[in-house]
Chains A and B, each alone.
Chain A
């Protein structure tokens, strides 16, 4: 039974509707279906019934498309030709739409550049201390102390700790100690150099850490007293090309140390960078059996199968078993009794790879990084990248009207949807590829500046396959992310609607596009507010009344080399009218100077209620005058009172903690320290309070001001001079001449107090700078997008503008018309970003004990900046549109 012409036409049309568009297959399958239908009709079915049965055999649309797809794949012999075709069309489109392509590429390159920079930064931060072979098993023992109401976390342990770890805890493979003693003067023959990366170390240091020895014997290095191991660079500095092994260096002019090992320089990404390791056996203090004094950095390697928590427990038990009896001896109380009174001494473990980013406790070797900044910058990088992607999506969909006709024609000519999708994806991947290349060039160019800003020395890891993997993956990801929405949006158009010209209206008022613009501006405003808040706080710190005068004070370092001439040196210089006063003391109100913490009692009764844990600073008579401290009551130390050697000056905080109503004349007690650092239960030192000074910020403003006491006692590490500001260079000359006279051959190192003070807030300053850079970049990217979007909108409305002008609209009217939509979006963005920024700022300021909470003006200012920027961006385009001659735009109509 033969089908009628109308039935055959029906089948062909229906198959077409079901997605059969590949021409070589069309007729053939139609024939196949027709024949099957004919056969079924011969068996007695009616036409529709037979057709349906046949389709069921095929499995409806899905399978028809599969057949088509498979056939197409099997026959398209040259896949490269297809890709080539995609690329060619993409290239033509890019060139045709130069303006938009340029904006897309510029935005994406900047975004990617930020991402690469931050990725490098983060990778560097995360790489710290991972170069040690046993990195995953190395732990540092830290101490948490609570005493006299003060909590402190220390990176140090008692001297006998490491030894006990090895002998008493089976899970410990090997342990090593460091003892920090500040800077040393080092010389070979005559000229002294100031070396600040010197440390006492146990020989086990080479077994715990991976520090490769270049020469010397691993078995014997650092085992003998008066021997040292030095880094490559120090060896070169002192000995040049000579063999440094078994040579001698002189420390602080009197200690002769023989070099028994040279090790490879410790990598940059390490939480310590020692240049000279001194054999611990030469240090008497290292033999101490005192469990109550914490001075030694202690690291150990744990056995692979051990459980860190369990080991931590055992370590604490071990500590109590040793420290308990000694507590009993000194305090006359058991360890448990003290614990019940609120005293606490607890050990905890810090995994080596965590130290750089997660540890910020007392006695760190160097200023560590901060995991929160790593998170923050990662988030910023992602946001900036998203901004750039959003630009791409926005422009692509905005221009959909232009591309829609292309899509319509392609579809009518039989293109499959998947090919249109692929075409758009190719375009976005191509744009991304170009942007990546530009971004890499850009990154390499600005990396040195970034390094300076971030205090890093990162190099582009061009040889690293991981880097290229990252670039490739992120490039493809960005390309797809940016392209996928436009691709599906555009390819979904129905040819009929497009070719009727119905689409352009819909694309003009896209809700999504508004949402994206709002998103972009929210992020920009958040970053602007964030930057302003950081600078606000920095400004607050700089101008805060500190309780001491940081200006016009010069500090000379390592003045102990002057020996007993130190006071003569000071007095000689103070005689000059340009130098107002001078004080000899290592203790200064900036971090990195000397600190010493001791417990005092109100009476000779060692109860906890009577005790105050406070700083004990050794100063001289001129300390207050030079530092500009303010006296509250009583007097400072004076030459008129010889008995002042037993006097003490407190700060307000300390006086309050002791609870004295009238502190002057009261007495406080502390343990008498013997030269070997030991104390006895019944030996006290007694001090009479002669005065109280106003609290001053001797630590960072992040912290509350603690209790502090000052005693008349020699402390010869530093001399500070207050000088006349107008004569800085003469003052320095003067000091240098005098120094050469009295300390020939010694290096003179000096700093200024205000600079040291500024250095304490380096991290905040860096954050502020990085923040402002990223804020600027985010604003640039967002503005670029807005600029292009405005251009497009103006173009779309050319005719409308033309008609309005003909009807008498002024330039101002039209500019307002074009800008007001964007203005609205910026205001919405502002409303969204304020709470987010407020929350973020609050969290950041939580780290400061003293802070300036930004007021409304700061937020409004940031919003205004964004609004003005957006308006400027849009106004250029709207001005162009508004000033165009309407005759031009209406001529074609």
Chain B
């Protein structure tokens, strides 16, 4: 099977991918109580079987944006010799996470119909 890598780069993202990045982060955080930046990149890589690479340039601006918009909150913890910053969902972020995932599922369903893709039989 042909394996393609999808990179999340900074800036050059289309609106579509930008939107999905937020959804991915929100969904990950709704499944795990709290995560730090590096952990998120690793998790995404692991879950996608290495197909999706989240660059720092895409991740951190988005995380900070979500914080500024009130979906996420942060807490810092001293881990031995340095500080680590964890992100978690606020209650507002929680509902948004559910909505965004629903929205995305709908979107994929509709797009599949239009583009006549049957995900099951590929």
Contacts and interface: CB of A to CB of B under 8 A. Distances in A.
Contact of A2 (B56, B76, B80): B80
B10 A67 contact: yes
A29 B82 contact: no
B68 A70 contact: no
Nearest to A75: B68
A3 interface: yes
A3 B11 contact: no
A74 interface: yes
- 10 nearest CB pairs, A to B: A74-B65, A70-B61, A75-B68, A71-B61, A35-B38, A71-B64, A75-B64, A28-B85, A32-B38, A74-B61
Interface string B50-92: 0000001100111011011000000010001111110000000
A36 interface: yes
Contacts of B76: 27
Contacts of B81: 2-5, 8
Contacts of A73: 61
A70 B83 contact: no
Contacts of A28: 36-37, 60, 85
B61 A67 contact: yes
B64 to A, nearest CB: 5
Contacts of B65: 71, 74-75
Contacts of B10: 63, 66-67, 70
A31 B85 contact: yes
Interface in A243-291: none
A67 B57 contact: yes
Contacts of A733: none
A177 B37 CA distance: 85
Interface in A24-41: 24-25, 27-32, 34-36
A29 B37 CA distance: 8
Interface string A2-15: 11110010000000
A569 B102 CA distance: 109
A58 B56 contact: yes
Interface string A30-59: 111011100000000000000000000111
B78 to A, nearest CB: 11
Nearest to A34: B82
A320 to B, nearest CB: 69
Chain B interface size band reads 20 to 34
Given A5-B81, A27-B82, A31-B84, A70 B57 contact: yes
Contacts of B62: 74
Contacts of A24: 64
A456 B67 CA distance: 63
A556 B20 CA distance: 92
A55 to B, nearest CB: 11
Nearest to A76: B68
Contacts of A25: 60, 64
Contact of B56 (A4, A8, A29): A29
A27 B80 CA distance: 14
Contacts of A75: 64-65, 67-68
B59 to A, nearest CB: 9
The residue in B60, B68, B84 that gathers the most chain A C-beta atoms within 10 A of its C-beta is: B60
B54 to A, nearest CB: 12
A24 B67 CA distance: 12
A418 interface: no
A63 B61 CA distance: 12
Given A3-B81, A32-B37, A74-B65, 20 more contacts: A2-B81, A8-B82, A25-B64, A27-B83, A27-B85, A28-B85, A31-B84, A32-B38, A35-B38, A58-B56, A59-B57, A63-B10, A66-B11, A67-B56, A70-B10, A70-B57, A71-B61, A71-B65, A75-B64, A77-B68
Contacts of B68: 74-75, 77
5 contacts: A2-B80, A8-B82, A27-B83, A28-B37, A31-B38
Contacts of A3: 81
The residue in B10, B62, B82, B85 that gathers the most chain A C-beta atoms within 10 A of its C-beta is: B82
Contacts of A70: 10-11, 57, 61
A31 B35 CA distance: 13
A2 B80 CA distance: 9
Nearest to A27: B83
Contacts of B38: 31-32, 35-36
B22 to A, nearest CB: 11
Contacts of A32: 37-38, 56
Interface of A: 2-5, 8, 24-25, 27-32, 34-36, 57-59, 63, 66-67, 70-71, 73-75, 77
Contacts of B83: 27, 31
Contacts of B56: 29, 32, 57-58, 67
A66 B64 contact: no
Given A67-B56, A67-B61, A75-B65, A31 B36 contact: yes
Nearest to A30: B82
Contacts of B85: 27-28, 31
B41 to A, nearest CB: 8
Contacts of A71: 60-61, 64-65
A2 B61 CA distance: 27
B60 A29 contact: yes
A31 B74 CA distance: 15
Contacts of A67: 10, 56-57, 60-61
Interface in B1-23: 10-11
Contacts of A57: 56
A8 B84 CA distance: 13
Contacts of A30: 82
Given A25-B64, A75-B68, A63 B82 contact: no
Nearest to A69: B61
B21 to A, nearest CB: 12
Nearest to A2: B80
The residue in A28, A29, A31, A59 that gathers the most chain B C-beta atoms within 10 A of its C-beta is: A28
Interface string B30-43: 00000011100000
A891 B94 CA distance: 68
Nearest to A73: B61
B82 A31 contact: yes
Interface in B76-122: 76, 80-85
A71 B11 CA distance: 11
A66 B60 contact: no
Nearest to B68: A75
A77 B37 CA distance: 22
B93 to A, nearest CB: 16
Nearest to A3: B81
The residue in A3, A25, A35 that gathers the most chain B C-beta atoms within 10 A of its C-beta is: A35
Contacts of B37: 28, 31-32
B11 A74 contact: no
The residue in B61, B65, B68 that gathers the most chain A C-beta atoms within 10 A of its C-beta is: B61
Contact of B64 (A4, A5, A27, A74): A74
Contacts of A66: 10-11, 57
A13 to B, nearest CB: 13
A57 B9 CA distance: 12
A541 to B, nearest CB: 69
The residue in A4, A5, A75 that gathers the most chain B C-beta atoms within 10 A of its C-beta is: A75
A815 to B, nearest CB: 60
A199 B85 CA distance: 90
A24 B37 CA distance: 13
Nearest to A74: B65
A35 B38 CA distance: 7
Contacts of A2: 80-81
A73 B82 CA distance: 27
B56 to A, nearest CB: 6
A234 to B, nearest CB: 67
A482 to B, nearest CB: 32
A77 B65 CA distance: 9
A47 to B, nearest CB: 14
Contacts of B82: 8, 27, 30-31, 34
Nearest to A7: B81
